[in-house]
Amino acid sequence: MLALDIPYRDKIIEAIVENPNYCIVAVDAEGYVTFLSKTYCEFLETTLEESLGKHVTEVIENTRMHIVVKTGKEEIADLQYIRGNYMIASRIPVWVEGKVIGAVGFVLYRDTKEWQEMNSHIRALLQQLEHFRKQLRVKHGITYTIHDIVGNSREIQLLKEKIKKIAPSDVSVLIRGESGTGKELFAHSIHHLSDRSNKPFVSINCASIPEHLLESELFGYEEGAFTGAKKGGKPGKFQLAHGGTLFLDEIGDMPLSAQVKILRVLQEGEVQPVGSTETQKVDVRIIAATNQPLEKLIEENKFRKDLFYRINVVQLTVPPLRERRKDIRILAKYFLHKVSVRVGKRVVDLDEEVIEKFLQYSWPGNIRELENLIEATVHLTNKERIGLKDLPDYFSFDDGEEEYSGTLKEVVEKAEKQAILQALRKTNGDKLEAAKLLGIGKSSFYEKMKKYEVE
């Protein structure tokens, strides 16, 4: 009301609206453009005539003006990506007699050159930061630290305490836990907290390397050791990890022949590259991980007892997600934030019903499955909040309507089996695709199929 008394009000408005430093847009209650300032037109390479009456989404990229007229909530200093640059936009609804009749949007934008300078300055800084991060990763091989381990359950807090205690010593650590529970994250964190953090962290997935190549991968080879060997030979993972940590992932899948050799390296502190008669001294801390029952493999003569004792000095067991449901909410929100920032989409929260559903679900693929699910959902949704409808179909089987009976273990197993059957149905029996759908690894999927006698 006060505004009516301002002298030269129209002139003031005109001065603001036509000021070359401002990009201004106005829309009506349905989100159709009613005004676009000259500067904004120039920036968008359009004209007022061309834009008037068009829906704002056809005129401005990633706009939210049409949403603001619906919600009636102002949005101040929001980042908006327009024409290859991030702009800072504010959007204000206009209320008349208790109704939103439109909205005005301003983009903080002084002149193209200045903005571009600022933008490229920010980009340069971000690139520099990314460059340093990458360097650190390449140099030391670590992507995660203890701060990346999200979770407020007692189980996770205790594990974090434990790794702080064991990290500084050189003891071997065996990390156990189902696929996707975060074993690798713990391995990185132990290295990062240890005195070896300035030295390399080298990892090798024992399951993914064919048996005949594993030895040369681990111990390296001499020039001419075999056909196809590189000129000058190649160092193995042990040599690369010298002074640092070697992470033997999925150690339960390591062939017996390689187990014998690893044991010798651990006992003698030296490696012999394939095709060489010389040995090389190595100083490496071992962290191993497995999702297999090693004791059972020992009984079946598939894993050496002496190697087991050697690597099992300290044991960490990362519990599956269904046994630490307290972490589900915080992890879901963490991944939502991480993914939406990465893909540049504004998805701010999850509906409580979705969280409820998550809390009921058995998560056979653990945290990896939760992360993949959130990633897919953020990509697919066109809303700001993830609702039940945004969840993939396979998820809806677990709608809590069915009455489950039995112990928790039986209930969980039943749910897991159902999820596997559903995934196989959906992929017409394609096991690889089904494993992907559930967010679990191929070997873990086969194991589960065997366990539940799914053909």
Ligand X SMILES: Nc1ncnc2c1ncn2[C@@H]1O[C@H](COP(=O)(O)OP(=O)(O)OP(=O)(O)O)[C@@H](O)[C@H]1O
Q: Shortest approach of ligand X to residue 370 CB, angstroms?
A: 8
> Could you say which of 199, 368, 417, 448 contacts ligand X (CB under 6 A)?
368
Contact 263, 248 (CB under 8 A): no
Of 20-28, 29-37, 47-55, 146-154, which segment contacts ligand X by CB under 6 A?
146-154
Q: Where does 18-86 have alpha helices with state H?
A: 38-44, 48-51, 56-59, 65-71
- Binding to ligand X, residues 435-454 (CB under 6 A): 441
**Comparison of 56 and 311: residue with beta carbon closer to ligand X:** 311
Q: Which of these, 248, 181, 155, lies nearest to 440 by C-alpha position?
A: 181
* Residues 307, 402: Cα–Cα separation, whole Å: 46
**Comparison of 183 and 196: residue with beta carbon closer to ligand X:** 183
Q: How many positions of this chain bind ligand X (CB under 6 A)?
A: 19
* Residues 288, 250: Cα–Cα separation, whole Å: 7
**Comparison of 113 and 450: residue with beta carbon closer to ligand X:** 450
- Binding to ligand X, residues 263-292 (CB under 6 A): 289, 291
* Residues 22, 38: Cα–Cα separation, whole Å: 9
Q: Shortest approach of ligand X to residue 252 CB, angstroms?
A: 10
- Give the C-alpha distances (Å, rounded to integers) separating 363 from 57, 321, 360, 373, 416: 38, 7, 9, 11, 8
- Binding to ligand X, residues 218-257 (CB under 6 A): 249
- Binding to ligand X, residues 290-329 (CB under 6 A): 291
183 binds ligand X, rule: CB under 6 A: yes
182 binds ligand X, rule: CB under 6 A: yes
Q: Quick one: DSSP state of residue 346?
A: -
Q: Shortest approach of ligand X to residue 193 CB, angstroms?
A: 16
**Comparison of 63 and 291: residue with beta carbon closer to ligand X:** 291
- Give the C-alpha distances (Å, rounded to integers) separating 213 from 15, 224, 225, 275, 393: 73, 15, 12, 13, 41
- Binding to ligand X, residues 370-399 (CB under 6 A): 371
Q: Which of these, 74, 284, 62, lies nearest to 170 by C-alpha position?
A: 284
Compute CA 162 distance to the chain's CA centroid, rounded to the nearest angstrom. Answer: 24
185 binds ligand X, rule: CB under 6 A: yes
7-26 mask for ligand X (x: CB under 6 A)? --------------------
DSSP 299-317: HTTSS-HHHHHHH-SEEEE
Residue ranges that bind ligand X, judged by CB under 6 A? 148-151, 177, 179-185, 249, 289, 291, 367-368, 371, 441
